[in-house]
A and B are shown apart, each in its own frame.
Chain A
Amino acid sequence: MNRLLTLVYDELRGLANARLSGLAPGQSLRPTDLVHEAYIKLVATDDRTWENRRHFINAAGMAMRSILVDRARARMTIKRGGDRQREPLHEDAAVFNRDPSEVIAMHEALEAFAQEDERAAQVVSLRIFLGMAESEIADLLGVTDRTIQRDWKYAKAWLATRMKGEAKISREMAG
């Protein structure tokens, strides 16, 4: 799994660097499509078994998440007056439709949540970092849509509660 993850990470980072920048508004392609592309390139020459696909997309989800978190961190650095020259702000504007700090906060909350409910955390990760639809996730994880909905609702409440708490703490610390 680790070897696969490294492989996928490299591939996706390559793809993402090439693609996740400088887009025209309105043009959109889901990251899952990128993942499929990477998958076809890497794995699927003649081996298309379901089990492999499942591993792959899981790995891809993690990879995509790391990419986004890395980029968000980089942007945070720039915001604080870091390396303006090398990475202009507008280039990433497209990748995040929200504040990069949100991406990082979500990532960290998810790490914690995964300790408690691994599957529900995975559902969130696939959904918000890969843009997968509910039914796709259900298929992927081999559970019913109903289960995914349950996980999703619970996870949202859990994560929002935690992030609220974190925000409060950081405000207090700043104050």
Chain B
Amino acid sequence: MPNECVKELFARLESLSPTERTAILIAELAHDPETRSRVEELLATNDDLDDTAFAPFVDSPVSAADDGESPERVGPYRVVSMLGRGGMACVFRAVQEQPFHREVALKIIRPGLDTRGVLSRFDSARQALARLEHRNIATVLDADPFGPSWFSMSLVDGPPVTDYCEENALGFRDRLRLFVQICRGVQHAHTRGVLHRDLKPSNILVSHEDGEAVPKIIDFGVAKALGADASLGETKHTLDTQIVGTLEYMSPEQARVGNPDVDARSDVYALGVILYELLTGSVPIGGDEFRGLPLDDIQKLIQRTRPAKPSTRSHIGAPEDFDCVVLKSIEKLPDDRYENPKDLADDIDRYLQGLPLAIRPPTRMYVLQKFASRNKTLVAFVGVIFAALVLGLIGTSIGFYRESQAMVEVQARDRELERSLTKAQHLNAMLGDIFFGIRPERSGRDVTLREAIVEASQNLLRESSEPDFATASLSRSLMESLFTLGEFELSESMADHVVRWAEAHPERIEDDMLEQGLHRRGHARARQGQGELAEQDFLDAIRLADQAVGRTSSFRHVSRLSLAEWFSARARYDLALEHQLKALELVQELPGTAAANEAFIYSEIGRTHSQLGDRVAALEFADEGLRLLESVGSPDDLKLLSMQRTVALIAMDAADYERAAEILEANAPDTGEALGPESVAALYSTILLGSCRARLGVEPADDVLDEMLQAADTADRVSPPNMSLFLRAYAVNAMFTYGRVDQALVAMDEVVSRGAEAFGPTGDQALQLRAMFATELANAKLWEHATPKLDSLIADLKETRSEDDPFLARMVGLRASAP
């Protein structure tokens, strides 16, 4: 009996109904009852198979300690006994005898594990802890002077916080009070740039100080310093395939393999799980459910499972109206959680005092954004409400200032106004996000919204030529919306309003208002061709941001990026790169940076490298950016889609067409889905994909070219010539690539003459189109066509460009390579 036959039949029949099975078995195995009964036996077993019997046998521990003997004496300490074992180190109870007697917890790196990675990780932990000084964090006392092999901490004698609460049968409110202290400790570490990354009850011990229960956070063993400290700097501690931490307490984003994007909100998640456990006696997801499952499945489980409301599982009677606080802390998406432990602690404090909670329904913003990207009417509708609110505010604020006489009254109203302003700003920030989500190629349709905001802004400027607090605050939020809407001149005026007020009232500014104003004014000016003024604004913003005391201004890197953009536009790529690299450095030092921001900088650096001709570096940086973004983004995320195109372009530039095609094959349909199949972004993606296919020699060529030309035709209809002609140029180049020279030459002449018509014969974009074709011809070694085109192009370039212009230089170089 050939086994293959049994196996094959089993595979075919396994998913069929009994009747179908019998029919096939009778038909095919009538003559072979032995095989038939074997197959039937296997199918019967399969039908009521107990899958748990086949779960992995091993559910092995993270490196418990070596069973080797404990050291007797370490530095100035005598080791007494072992307290615990972690992945990298063992912790001992030890005694110091000189210069005075004290008991400490001594953390020693495990022998045999002293690889460079572990040593440097251990060293980070030591330095991280040494920078922390908080009642709820175990203090670092001393460290190995000869390198990172041990350090000592104050000895915390007490049970894990969960055990403590159960042993002492603490009530709901007492548990919350204890928990708030833990949050404060974690927050302290965060403000020093240290994430814990491995918060769990066994890392939070409760000791007694002066009769009071004090939770102490220990074991910053996997904490990765995020801060500026050079010695902590660049080392990437978390190996790609290695997950640090304990699964039940690990946020979904942290559990993803190879994900570097772990920020304050991952610790918030862990705190949320601990809070859940304190209130219900069990973790929200995990425990026995995780037993025996492979890691992938555990991650899926974490991702999918919605935890039960704590009030329904609570053994200490946690009330229902507190559920939202717990659930918000353990939301799957970092954006939906509390920003930081402080916000969580503050909300619990408010709850304890009977005040209303600060949190809003957890995912409204997210839902709204998603919705907005599909539903124009809603966005316009929100916009109208917003505009009405702004108009109303302007009216009242101006009214207030005119009518008020007494200073006291002004101050009282100032406060009231501030509250309304905060509301307006929230709404505006929300709109800003919506805009960001829908902006590409679509804002033109938001007529109502645009008109409303423009009108509101003009009103504001007309009514108050001299800025005051209220109008400056409003201008500050309007300048951003206006800029997003492409109203650069008005945005500049608003920004100017902000800058003038902020410069006149330095004493009243507590945040980055002035930097923001300068930054936005710079941008608006750059967009209007006032480059020199823009550069000055960016430089001023950077200077102020760098000098800011008591806060870290995001304009340190944001304005540097804008400055770099300006340099890039002037083809000063070397200067651009310098500022971009500095910006990246600053962003990486910043605690809690969103991966999207960092990813964006990577891609910008990639582009600059590409311009500088370093294609390897370009692709490396761009890929890193894409990887970062993919690790957090959803596939319909517009930022991700646009980043994919950037990387594809850079890959194409580096002649890695396979990589580019691979990206674009997903990107083109995804973009069509997200923005509509006739959006320029989707057309662009389709065209780029066609180019790559042509380069890779995909056949039939007619299909590839047809698809490209169709996209170009659509682009003619829906987008301005600066877009559509470039798209068509790609299609023409693809014809060359396929060797269809005659067809290509005709199409090329058409594009060039349409370009001259649209941009003027020596218009920048007309010249760029010609350069694109000349390059293509030269690359295809069609010198008889390339040479005359290059000559006339160079002549035109010499008229409009300076002699050291890199564009001109490139064309001259190309011409020189002609035989």
Contact = CB atoms under 8 A, between A and B. Distances in A.
Contacts of B3: 116-117
A160 B45 contact: yes
B251 to A, nearest CB: 15
A31 B66 contact: no
B23 interface: no
Contacts of B286: 26
A156 to B, nearest CB: 6
Interface in B31-53: 41-43, 45-46, 49-51, 53
A43 B809 CA distance: 51
A75 to B, nearest CB: 13
Interface size range of chain B in the complex = 35 or more
Contacts of B10: 153-154, 157
Interface stretch (A1-9, A17-25, A51-59, A76-84): A17-25
B312 to A, nearest CB: 23
Nearest to A158: B42
B242 interface: yes
A97 B292 contact: yes
Contacts of B818: none
Given A26-B246, A156-B46, A132 B57 contact: no
Contact of B45 (A33, A120, A164): A164
B11 interface: yes
Interface in B56-91: 56-67
A127 B295 CA distance: 12
Interface in A106-125: 106, 116-117, 120, 124
B11 A150 contact: yes
Contacts of A130: 56, 58
B295 to A, nearest CB: 6
Given A157-B43, A157-B46, A131 B294 contact: yes
A22 B84 CA distance: 11
Contacts of A128: 54-58
Contacts of B57: 68, 96-98, 102-103, 106, 128-129
A175 B489 CA distance: 95
Nearest to B298: A28
B64 A21 contact: yes
B248 interface: yes
Instruction: Name, among B57, B59, B63, the residue most crowded by chain A CB atoms within 10 Å (CB to CB).
Output: B57
Contacts of B247: 26, 28
A156 B60 contact: no
A157 B60 contact: no
A157 B45 CA distance: 6
B14 interface: yes
Nearest to A159: B54
Nearest to A31: B58
A96 B98 CA distance: 47
> From DSSP, what is the main secondary structure of chain A's interface residues?
helix
B60 A133 contact: no
Contact of B67 (A18, A27, A28): A18
Interface in A124-168: 124, 127-133, 150, 153-154, 156-161, 163-164
Given A117-B7, A133-B295, A153 B64 contact: no
A137 to B, nearest CB: 11
A63 to B, nearest CB: 13
B209 interface: no
A164 B44 CA distance: 12
Contacts of B202: 24
B296 interface: yes
Contacts of B241: 33, 36
Nearest to A152: B54
Contact of A97 (B59, B64, B67): B59
A174 interface: no
Given A33-B241, A97-B292, A102 B60 contact: no
Nearest to A30: B295
B60 A153 contact: no
Interface of B: 3, 7, 10-11, 14, 41-43, 45-46, 49-51, 53-67, 202, 241-242, 246-248, 286-287, 290-292, 294-296
Q: Which 8 pairs of residues, A with B, have the shortest CB-CB distance?
A: A23-B61, A157-B46, A131-B56, A29-B62, A157-B42, A161-B45, A27-B62, A160-B45
